[in-house]
Amino acid sequence: MNILRKDFSRKIVLFLMEIIKAKQDFIIDYVKRSNEEQQRLYLAGKSKCDGKIKISKHQIGKAMDIYFIDDKNKLTWSGKTYEHWHKVWQKKYSGTKIITWDQGRFE
């Protein structure tokens, strides 16, 4: 078992609990990707990692996509919402900064 993946799992659970306590609705996606799925996303132009030479953090279980839902029960792409939660992720859980073209990604 990769200790870093275990650490990521623990931190992401604590982070999700914090989001829940704030009453922010969300869905999670792409907790762990297969090599084939990563390559499919790369070929579709949705990832910069090809899944073979350039491995995504999703493939090794160290990234998760989180998409936030607004009060109308629709996905929101509000930069403010993502910026806020990325700041929390970065400061409290040592996560990476927001990626502007992939703001739902938490690694």
Q: Is residue 42 part of a domain?
A: no
In a domain, 39, yes or no: no
**How many domains are there within the chain?**
1
pLDDT of amino acid 101: 86
Model confidence at 2, in pLDDT bands (50, 70, 90)? Answer: low
β-sheet with 25-29: strand ranges across? 25-29, 64-69, 105-106
Whether 43 is covered by a domain: the verdict is no
The 10 Å Cβ neighbour count of residue 89 is: 22
Q: How far is CA 7 from CA 17, 73, 88, in A?
A: 16, 31, 17
Q: Which residue has the higher pLDDT, 15 or 2?
A: 15
Q: Looking at residue 67, what is its pLDDT?
A: 97
What sign does the CA torsion over 102, 12, 31, 69 have?
negative
What is the model's pLDDT at position 3? 65
107's CB contacts (< 8 A; 6+ apart) are 8, 57, 62, 63, 64, 95, 96
84 within some domain: yes
Determine the structural domain holding residue 78 and report its residue range: 3-33+61-106
Residue 9 domain flag: yes
Q: What is the pLDDT of residue 1?
A: 53
Looking at the chain, the whole-number percentage of residues with pLDDT higher than 70 is 97
- pTM of the model as a whole: 0.87
pLDDT digits (tens, 9 = 90+) for 64-105: 999 999 999 999 988 999 999 999 999 999 999 998 888 999
Structure tokens at 21: 């306590």
